[in-house]
């Protein structure tokens, strides 16, 4: 039977699949849109299952701030060639748009979001069928705060959202987000680091000192020094500012506003 270009375009809009895949599905389904959607969906599942053990270590990140909410998302694939394709970036932005329109709270909520009878998870699986690679959304987060800083690295493989307790200069917020992207702190401040992590660092510090022949009486003091160094290097507020290592991030933002706090932080990297 003859398949009209308008029908192919309609199915593509419904599924996000490629034009040729849509045409083939409509031919096989004899023009039945519901059956054609199922064909595309099953093809995506088949390819996704075959490539389930592949490493989706390429991709891109996108973010957007709307009012007091920030959204950040990563769409991952297997090869850099696919990641640099214009249509892949369009798909990534489309998933972010869906997240924003539904104000998705987290990744689980986003993947379960229904879009015209198809979940976001199913849409990502369908893309595997279209592209021929493992496609997944490994990361999505939403931050809500009076002020939000955002930074996506130029390679689009890592990015950060940072939420502040009050309005501050946009350049300051941007610099802090860039700092977090580059230096990968594990927490905002010391109080946010899990107790077991600090205990482990203390144990490691004491053991190193013991192996160096230090007296038992001072091992805990040396271990605490190691913990303090760990906190300075791995918590955002206590890190030395990349742009000026003579001050900490806390000092940098307090020069702008003495009362400001960082109350939210989300970072993801495809390279980690």
Strand partners for 163: 148, 264
Predicted TM-score (pTM) above 0.85 = no
- pLDDT band for position 260 (cuts 50, 70, 90): very high
Q: What is the mean pLDDT of residues 219-240?
A: 94
Cα separation, 66 vs 178, in Å, equals 19
Angle between helix 219-234 and 195-211 (nearest 10): 130
Q: How far is CA 45 from CA 2, 17, 229, 253, in A?
A: 27, 13, 48, 48
Q: Which two tokens stand for residue 195?
A: 């107790």
Contact by Cβ (8 Å): 242, 183: yes
Cα 209 off chain centre by: 38
Q: What is the mean pLDDT of residues 49-77?
A: 87
Q: Which two tokens stand for residue 19?
A: 């034009």
Report the SS3 class of residue 265.
strand
Please determine, for residue 193, whether its predicted confidence score (pLDDT) is greater than 60: yes
Contact by Cβ (8 Å): 168, 149: no
Give the contacts of 255 (CB within 8 A, at least 6 positions apart).
247
Helix residue spans in the chain (DSSP H): 5-15, 19-28, 33-50, 80-83, 86-102, 107-112, 120-131, 170-183, 195-211, 219-234, 249-256
Give the whole-number percent of the chain exceeding pLDDT 90.
66
- pLDDT band for position 185 (cuts 50, 70, 90): very high
φ and ψ at residue 212, rounded to 5 degrees: -85, 0
Name the DSSP letter for residue 4: -
Strand partners for 74: 61, 139
Please report, to the nearest 10 degrees, the dihedral formed by the alpha carbons of residues 182, 184, 185, 186 taken in order: 170
132 or 207, higher pLDDT: 207
Strand partners for 66: 69
Go through the domains of the chain in sequence order and give each one's CATH number.
Answer: 5-50 (1.10.8.10)
Cα separation, 73 vs 59, in Å, equals 11
């Amino acid at each position: 039977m003859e398949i009209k270009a308008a029908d192919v375009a309609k199915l593509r809009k419904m599924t996000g699949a490629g034009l040729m895949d849509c045409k083939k599905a409509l031919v096989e389904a004899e023009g039945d849109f519901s059956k054609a959607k199922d064909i595309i969906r099953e093809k995506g599942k088949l390819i996704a299952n075959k490539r389930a053990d592949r490493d989706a270590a390429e991709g891109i990140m996108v973010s957007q701030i709307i009012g007091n909410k920030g959204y950040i998302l990563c769409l991952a694939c297997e090869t850099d060639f696919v990641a640099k394709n214009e249509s892949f970036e369009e798909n990534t932005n489309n998933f972010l748009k869906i997240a924003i329109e539904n104000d998705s709270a987290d990744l689980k909520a986003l993947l379960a979001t229904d879009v015209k009878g198809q979940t976001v998870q199913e849409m990502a699986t369908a893309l595997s069928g279209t592209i021929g690679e493992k496609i997944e959304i490994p990361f999505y987060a939403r931050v809500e705060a009076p002020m939000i800083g955002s930074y996506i690295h130029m390679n689009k493989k890592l990015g950060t959202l940072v939420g502040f307790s009050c309005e501050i200069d946009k350049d300051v917020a941007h610099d802090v987000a860039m700092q977090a992207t580059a230096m990968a702190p594990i927490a905002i401040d010391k109080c946010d680091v899990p107790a077991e992590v600090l205990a482990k660092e203390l144990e490691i510090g004491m053991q190193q000192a013991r192996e160096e022949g230090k007296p038992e009486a001072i091992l805990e003091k040396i271990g605490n020094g190691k913990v303090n160094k760990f906190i300075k290097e791995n918590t955002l507020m206590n890190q030395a500012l990349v742009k000026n290592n003579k001050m900490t991030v806390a000092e940098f933002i307090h020069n702008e506003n003495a009362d400001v706090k960082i109350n939210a932080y989300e970072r993801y990297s495809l390279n980690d």
